[in-house]
A and B are shown apart, each in its own frame.
Chain A
Amino acid sequence: MQCIITALGVESENFISFYRLLRVKEFKFPVYKNDDIVLIETGIGKLNIESRLKSISSLINNFDRCQFINIGIAGGNPEKVNIGDCFIINKINNADDGQTYYPDILVDHKMKEAALITVKEPVTKGSEEYFELVDMEASEIFRVCKELVPIQRMAFIKIVSDYMVLDQNFIKKNFIMELFYSNLNKISQFLIEFDKFIFSEESILNEIDIQWISNLVDKWKLTKTQKFQLENVLKFIRVNNSVDFFPEISDIIPKSKFQRNKLFYQFCEKYSS
């Protein structure tokens, strides 16, 4: 499951129609989804990010196997970037506390890369202090998401919407929609490649294996330690390339701890290394 995080509705609209996402009405703030993607709007700034992200955990299975992708607009330094440029972010600095975050960029992508500073208030008086890009959410999204998923499951994509000068900063909705539309192909391609990456995190045991373990734990009333040992036995079988082999299990249902332990010991003796 991929979770796209935007700040504004205008940043979301293209994705909602492209991925045919439907509004999830149980939330008071905008959340949309289909079978593979959830999109959440956090509003401008850091304030609601943590509470809104945590409140959708039930929607994406406690973030198990979830990737977070923050996509939004950013102000840019005119000496470094052009309006409409789309960047993968490789360094995020929180201007409030100086904390710096480094997303892991492992997936091959066709976008340019840039560093980003996350600020509290909109920057409206020019860009001299800011080397490349500025936004108002990314550092907080990183801070919150790194507690929820491993680092490699986060990505940050920013499209330059302005040069951080107020007079020129009157950004129309249609203009932003157009910026996103023109980069939609690039971003959706990235999301496909990023999604594939999660398969390389496959664990040794698949869902069928886990179910098989669970059934045996129930049947034999195994302890936590025995469950752990059982997982190890099945992992050992899997790493030795027995893809669909499951050990034979006696039909006997143990009637005492002693009998259970004996059965389990015999089982481990037979199937472990």
Chain B
Amino acid sequence: MKNTLPNLSHIYIEKDAFGYSLTESILSKYRSSKMIEINNYKEIFNRSNQNFQLQKSSMKLILALKRPPYLYPVSSIVQEFDSPNGYYTTPVINCLYNCDYCFLQGMYPSGNMVLFVNENDFFENTIFEIQKRKNKKPLYLSISYNTDLMAMENIIPICRNWINFSKSVSDLLLEIRTKSGLFSSISDIPSNENTILSWTLSPEPISKKYESNAPPLKSRINSIRSAIKKGWKVRVCFDPIITVNDWQSLYSNFFSDIFKKIDPNQIYDVTIGVFRMNKEYFSRIKKTDINSDLYFSNYENDDGVLSLPKKYRDNVINLIRFELEKYLNKDKVHSWEV
């Protein structure tokens, strides 16, 4: 779509969101954007009859205040990593990228992005949840679950602020998941034990076909190498595995290539999973006439989650595991299984 306005051409700001440092930082960076005052982000974000995909062609930014709850327990769709205290939080809603397999397009009525500017409320509630937990395992918190924070780090320094926060807190394990090649935006921050940087990687043909706007594989690999060099805990996510024609050899060659460029011994761990989605989100996306073959495969409904039929799914996971265990200790490979 060539005749659209650039992303962030319009910034909608809740009346109560003025005065926060994130708001001021955005407003000073985007002086040429149209600023429109609103009462509550929901009056624009939650409107009915919006077109998610068209809005993605010219994404607007909404600056708002998050009201409770600030942390949510992770769903069964996410790997739990042996942590009973798994949570996610949403400093930002929606993402600069537009991957075909992303659940966000079925979860939200709008393709615009919301940035919650009251960071301190998130931090205070995280401390509160840490204190409230009933066992001694650390609180596992994914902060980039409904977005890709690192992709926006040059616009808004949310990863930086959360990493700095995590340094001062014990019993917190932060995960920042990304497809970005922008590790450089935080490379000046010393690594810390409380943060895992996770990169999602897919073979180039899959990335080109299904990960619209996301950076090429090469730049993600470069970011991973830099992060490892700087001492960060790095997780690599091969998730979702997409079972295109001859996926077995595609992924086998892909892993061989990846682990020539990244030393497997220096990776914190790896996660794998097949394409899966909440049934309601899937139906909503399909109703929008999405032009992706992913939505025309035969899936099995397993307790509200659509995925490949169990037998086939197990086969895929086993084969991917088998391939990965050529490079990694099996304890380092985590998988999503219903």
Question: Residues of A with Cβ closer than 8 Å to B?
Answer: 90-91, 100, 102, 104-109, 113, 115, 146, 149-152, 193, 196-197, 200-201, 203-204, 232, 235-236, 239-240, 272-273
Q: How far is the CA of A151 from the CA of B291 in the complex (A)?
A: 21
Cβ of B31 < 8 Å from any Cβ of A?
no
CB distance from A242 to the nearest CB of B (A): 11
CB distance from A156 to the nearest CB of B (A): 14
If A108-B5, A239-B293 touch, does A151 touch B50 (CB 8 Å cutoff)?
yes
A-B residue pairs in contact (CB < 8 Å), sample of 12:
A90-B34, A91-B36, A102-B43, A105-B5, A113-B34, A115-B36, A150-B50, A193-B3, A196-B3, A197-B54, A204-B289, A239-B292
Q: Which of A106, A201, A232 contacts B296 (CB 8 A)?
A: A232
Q: How far is the CA of A166 from the CA of B35 in the complex (A)?
A: 31
Q: Which of B44, B58, B292 contacts A106 (CB 8 A)?
A: B58
If A106-B4, A151-B47, A239-B291 touch, does A100 touch B39 (CB 8 Å cutoff)?
yes
Looking at chain B's contact residues, the main secondary structure is loop
Do A235 and B296 touch (CB < 8 A)? yes
Cβ of B57 < 8 Å from any Cβ of A?
yes
Do A204 and B4 touch (CB < 8 A)? no
- Chain B residues near A197: list those with CB within 8 A: 1, 3-4, 54
CB distance from A101 to the nearest CB of B (A): 9
Give the interface centre of A100, A151, A193, A204 by most chain B CB atoms within 10 Å.
Answer: A151
Do A273 and B297 touch (CB < 8 A)? yes
Question: Residues of B with Cβ closer than 8 Å to A?
Answer: 1, 3-5, 9-10, 12, 34, 36, 38-39, 43-44, 47, 49-51, 54-55, 57-58, 289, 291-293, 296-298
Give the interface centre of A106, A146, A196, A239 by most chain B CB atoms within 10 Å.
Answer: A106
Do A102 and B289 touch (CB < 8 A)? no
- Chain B residues near A115: list those with CB within 8 A: 36
Instruction: Return the 4 tightest CB-CB contacts between A and B, nearest first.
Output: A236-B296, A106-B58, A203-B289, A150-B49
- Chain B residues near A201: list those with CB within 8 A: 51, 54
Q: How far is the CA of A235 from the CA of B294 in the complex (A)?
A: 12
Do A273 and B44 touch (CB < 8 A)? no
- Chain A residues near B297: list those with CB within 8 A: 273
Do A100 and B43 touch (CB < 8 A)? yes
Do B50 and A108 touch (CB < 8 A)? no
Do B10 and A152 touch (CB < 8 A)? no
Q: How far is the CA of A104 from the CA of B10 in the complex (A)?
A: 10
CB distance from A86 to the nearest CB of B (A): 16
- Chain A residues near B43: list those with CB within 8 A: 100, 102
Q: A106-B54, A197-B3 are in contact. List 6 more A-B contacts (CB 8 A).
A: A100-B38, A106-B4, A109-B5, A150-B50, A235-B289, A239-B292
